[in-house]
Amino acid sequence: MSDHDAQDELRGGPQDDAPEDAPEDAPADRADDASDDASEDAAEDEHETSAVAVPAGLWDVPLVLAATPIGNLSDASPRLRALLASAEIVAAEDTRRTRHLCQALGVRPTGRLVSLHEHNEASRAAEVVERAAAGARVLVVSDAGMPAVSDPGFRLVAAAVEAGVEVTAAPGASAVPTALALSGLPTDRFTFAGFMPRKGADRRRLLHRLAAEEWTTVLFESPHRTAATLAECAEQLGGERGAAMCRELTKKHEEVLRGSLAELAEQTASRQLRGEVVLVIGGAAEQAAPSHEDLVAEVLRRAEAGEKVKAAAKEVAAAHGATSRELYDAAVAARKG
């Protein structure tokens, strides 16, 4: 979409929120007929004529990221409903889904719905921020969960920060902490890896990192790739690693499988999984702290490779919380001996 088209949409002109090249796992309703857009635009124009009472304090900040339900509509907060009803611009990952959400919640949006998805966020963010800076009430929502967390919104927030425009969030449902809480794995330290890369160097790099990762890791995966990913993780990370496969969280057919990676790989191997999947993988066992002798040996190895003993001792000491002077003296004595 050209910049001119984007500006038309934000000002109430023609719009088409379907990306030109939808990803494999994109919702089917992004491919709806253009005729549906025309009828929805007509309904939207009707909404724009209705006044809405704006609760005090709701829009103290002009740009708001709001979490939407990840499955259970009862998780929609009163604040989300009020924001949807009173925003002058709703920047949505998929405007059709947002319209459906509003209908399900009994909310009549009075503002303009515009698309903000992975295919147009880079070009549209500046214009949306410009409208917020000019005083428009701008709401950002994704299809489910919190915008900017593996969903559109990051570039928009970065643009707002750069432009000096205030931005805040209306918290709510999110698959990451929900899966983590249900996993039965340690929650005091965790990392989020986003979507599992499908193949190639990115996938190998992530698996290599996870092999040594001591924190619990949360990641998203497509349902039809879940079994293969669990099998590969069991092979690369160790089948004994604890894990959980969380599917259709907060929905009627919610399912959480817990066990080792090897057990989960076996349980899912012959199944045709459906729905949204979140994988939670336990951290690797902590490695025993190296002894003083081990650290001295490391300094000597680096020195033999051409590094100065003093520099090597300083870096090894910093990495392991040791005293560089002691390592240096021990390394020098070992070389003389």
3-state secondary structure of 185: coil
- What whole-number percentage of the chain has pLDDT above 90? 75
Distance between CA atoms of residues 18 and 34, nearest Å: 10
Q: Read off the pLDDT of each residue in 118-125 and give the average, rounded to a whole number.
A: 92
Distance between CA atoms of residues 215 and 284, nearest Å: 7
Nearest to 96 by CA among 33, 49, 29, 151: 29
Q: What pLDDT score was predicted for residue 267?
A: 97
Distance between CA atoms of residues 141 and 108, nearest Å: 16
3-state secondary structure of 310: helix
pTM for the structure as a whole? 0.71
CA separation, residue 154 to residues 3, 71, 320 (Å): 19, 23, 35
**Residue in the block written with tokens 């190895």:** 301
Residue 270 burial (10 A CB sphere; 0-12, 13-18, 19+): exposed
- The two three-digit tokens of residue 337, written as one number: 């001996």
Nearest to 159 by CA among 132, 192, 186: 132
pLDDT tens digit string along 274-289? 999 999 999 998 767 7
- The two three-digit tokens of residue 163, written as one number: 């432009």
- The two three-digit tokens of residue 171, written as one number: 């918290």
Q: What pLDDT score was predicted for residue 288?
A: 72
CA separation, residue 276 to residues 39, 178, 253, 326 (Å): 30, 13, 11, 54
Q: What are phi and psi of 99, to 5 degrees?
A: -65, -45
pLDDT tens digit string along 122-146? 999 999 999 999 999 999 999 999 9
Q: Count of CB atoms within 10 A of residue 271's CB?
A: 10
39 pLDDT band, cuts 50/70/90, is very low
pLDDT tens digit string along 286-318? 767 789 999 999 999 999 989 999 999 999 999
For the cut 90, the answer to whether the pLDDT of residue 31 exceeds it is: no
Write out the DSSP string of 102-153. Answer: HHHHT----SEEEE--TTTHHHHHHHHHHHHHTT--EEEE-SSB-TTSSSTT
Q: Which residues in 188-239 belong to E strands, given as ranges?
A: 190-195, 216-221
